[in-house]
Amino acid sequence: MISTANINSKTIFGKTNVANLKQYVREMNADALVFGVDILSPYQHHYYRECLNIEVYDRFSIVLKIFRERASTKETKLQLSLAEIQYVRKNLHKMKECDFSQFTIASSFGGGFDTFYQIKKKLIQEQESKLNTLLEKVELNNQLNKHHRLRMQIPSVAIIGYTNCGKTSLIKSLTHDSKLKPEDKLFATLNVSTHQVNLPSNLKVLLIDTIGFITEIPTALIHSFRSTLSEISSADMLVHVTDCSHPDYKQQIETVHKTLRDLEVPEKLISTMLEVHNKVDKLGPDIKLENEDCLLISATERIGLDELKQSIEKGVINNTDRLTFDIRVPNGGEQYQWLYREVSVVECNADERDGNYIVMKVIITKSQLGKFMKHFRRSLRAS
- Same domain assignment for residues 227 and 79: no
Tell me whether residue 164 is annotated as binding: yes
Tell me whether residue 87 is annotated as binding: no
Tell me whether residue 259 is annotated as binding: no
- Same domain assignment for residues 161 and 219: yes
- Same domain assignment for residues 127 and 191: no
- Same domain assignment for residues 291 and 167: yes
- Same domain assignment for residues 105 and 158: no
Q: What is the CATH number of the domain that holds 235?
A: 3.40.50.300
Q: What pLDDT score does 99 carry?
A: 46
Tell me whether residue 306 is annotated as binding: no
Tell me whether residue 161 is annotated as binding: yes
Q: What pLDDT score does 148 carry?
A: 58
- Same domain assignment for residues 298 and 173: yes
Tell me whether residue 36 is annotated as binding: no
Environment class of residue 115 by beta-carbon count within 10 Å: exposed (0-12), middle (13-18) or buried (19+)? middle
Q: What pLDDT score does 199 carry?
A: 93
Domain assignment present for residue 371? The answer is yes
Q: What is the mean pLDDT of each run of 10 residues along the chain (383 residues)?
A: 68 83 88 83 83 85 76 73 74 55 47 59 77 73 61 84 90 89 65 85 90 71 65 91 91 90 89 95 74 85 95 94 88 89 89 89 88 78 51
- Same domain assignment for residues 266 and 361: no
- Judged by DSSP in three states, 176 sits in coil
Domain assignment present for residue 149? The answer is no
Tell me whether residue 194 is annotated as binding: no
Q: Which of 319, 335, 354 is the last residue of a domain?
A: 319
Tell me whether residue 191 is annotated as binding: no
- Same domain assignment for residues 331 and 231: no
- Same domain assignment for residues 32 and 126: no
- Are 56 and 33 a contacting pair, CB within 8 Å? yes
Q: What pLDDT score does 2 carry?
A: 67
Tell me whether residue 280 is annotated as binding: yes
- Same domain assignment for residues 229 and 341: no
Residue 288's identity, in one-letter code, is: K
> pLDDT of 285-342, one tens digit each?
666 676 667 899 999 999 999 999 999 999 999 999 898 889 889 888 899 999 988 8
Closest CA to 161 of 48, 269, 238: 238
**Number of Cβ within a 10 Å radius of residue 184:** 8
- Same domain assignment for residues 44 and 82: no
> pLDDT of 171-211, one tens digit each?
999 999 888 777 666 665 656 778 999 999 889 999 998 87
Tell me whether residue 172 is annotated as binding: no
Tell me whether residue 281 is annotated as binding: yes
Tell me whether residue 370 is annotated as binding: no
What is the pTM for the complete model shown? 0.73
Q: Which of 319, 337, 365 is the last residue of a domain?
A: 319
Tell me whether residue 141 is annotated as binding: no
- Are 12 and 4 a contacting pair, CB within 8 Å? yes
State how far the alpha carbon of 312 is from the alpha carbons of 19, 152, 179, 293, 306, in Å. Answer: 56, 19, 23, 14, 10
Domain assignment present for residue 147? The answer is no
Task: Please enumerate in sequence order all residues whose Cβ is within 8 A of that of 45, keeping only pairs 6 or more positions apart, or say none.
Answer: 56, 58, 91
Q: What pLDDT score does 271 carry?
A: 94
Domain count of the chain?
A: 4
Domain assignment present for residue 138? The answer is no
Tell me whether residue 355 is annotated as binding: no
- Same domain assignment for residues 93 and 115: yes
Domain assignment present for residue 221? The answer is yes
Domain assignment present for residue 142? The answer is no
Domain assignment present for residue 9? The answer is no
Tell me whether residue 345 is annotated as binding: no
The pLDDT mean for the chain works out to 80
Q: Which of 47, 66, 85 is the last residue of a domain?
A: 66
Residue span of the structural domain in which 178 resides? 154-319
Domain assignment present for residue 179? The answer is yes
